[in-house]
Chain A
Amino acid sequence: EDQVTQSPEALRLQEGESSSLNCSYTVSGLRGLFWYRQDPGKGPEFLFTLYSAGEEKEKERLKATLTKKESFLHITAPKPEDSATYLCAAANNNDMRFGAGTRLTVKP
């Protein structure tokens, strides 16, 4: 069965402490791997789409990478405003499946 698993469930960082979030997927015929940011009580905000293994995309302090089995969201020198839940989703031609998210807290 197609599955997307994110780890860790929660991550607490000090401001400036870089780290990575993991998204493992078992989706046949991957069409795209998506990363979203979600603030409490709001809808997910699109960050990145990755289409093939080896692809990387960057936006400010965030960099997403993709392999054949997992994707990483690297956060470099995070700030308190980066605190949010980060969701990944894997899509094939039939559907798109979301992980449960990683809740990131960045303390000043």
Chain B
Amino acid sequence: EAEVAQSPRYKITEKSQAVAFWCDPISGHATLYWYRQILGQGPELLVQFQDESVVDDSQLPKDRFSAERLKGVDSTLKIQPAELGDSAMYLCASSVRSDTQYFGPGTRLTVL
């Protein structure tokens, strides 16, 4: 069964450092999403791609976060510099157009 792949699974970094997360969506899924999930809360959308284009990045803190999906397949989310409040689970999901979203295992980020 096809799955969304994410790496790394865990990342510990110090504040002010740069971190990057990678996501490979299910093959054929044109729409890719990055979410942030704080413990005890539901996922919150950071950015949505349709192929290589950004569809929605209204909740992305653009002063420190960036995301790209250059060839319309895999994607990278970067934080620079990381802050203590960025500690969370970062989830990637993909879908065919904007239908049911399938999530990857997530990257647990801890900022010290």
Contacts and interface: CB of A to CB of B under 8 A. Distances in A.
Q: Do A and B bind each other?
A: yes
A87 B42 contact: yes
B105 A43 contact: yes
Contact of A44 (B44, B45, B103): B103
Interface stretch (A62-70, A75-83, A93-101): A93-101
Interface string A45-88: 11001000000000000000000000000000000000000010
Given A95-B45, A95-B56, A96-B101, 8 more contacts: A42-B105, A43-B4, A46-B102, A49-B99, A98-B43, A99-B42, A100-B40, A101-B42
Nearest to B43: A98
A99 B93 CA distance: 17
A15 B23 CA distance: 38
B91 A100 contact: no
A34 B101 CA distance: 9
Nearest to A88: B42
B99 to A, nearest CB: 8
Interface of B: 4, 6, 40-45, 56, 89, 91, 93, 98-106, 108
B21 to A, nearest CB: 13
Q: Which of B45, B56, B91, B101 gathers the greatest number of chain A CB atoms within 10 Å?
A: B101
B2 to A, nearest CB: 13
B5 to A, nearest CB: 11
A62 to B, nearest CB: 16
A41 interface: yes
9 contacts: A34-B100, A42-B105, A42-B106, A44-B91, A44-B103, A87-B43, A91-B98, A99-B42, A100-B40
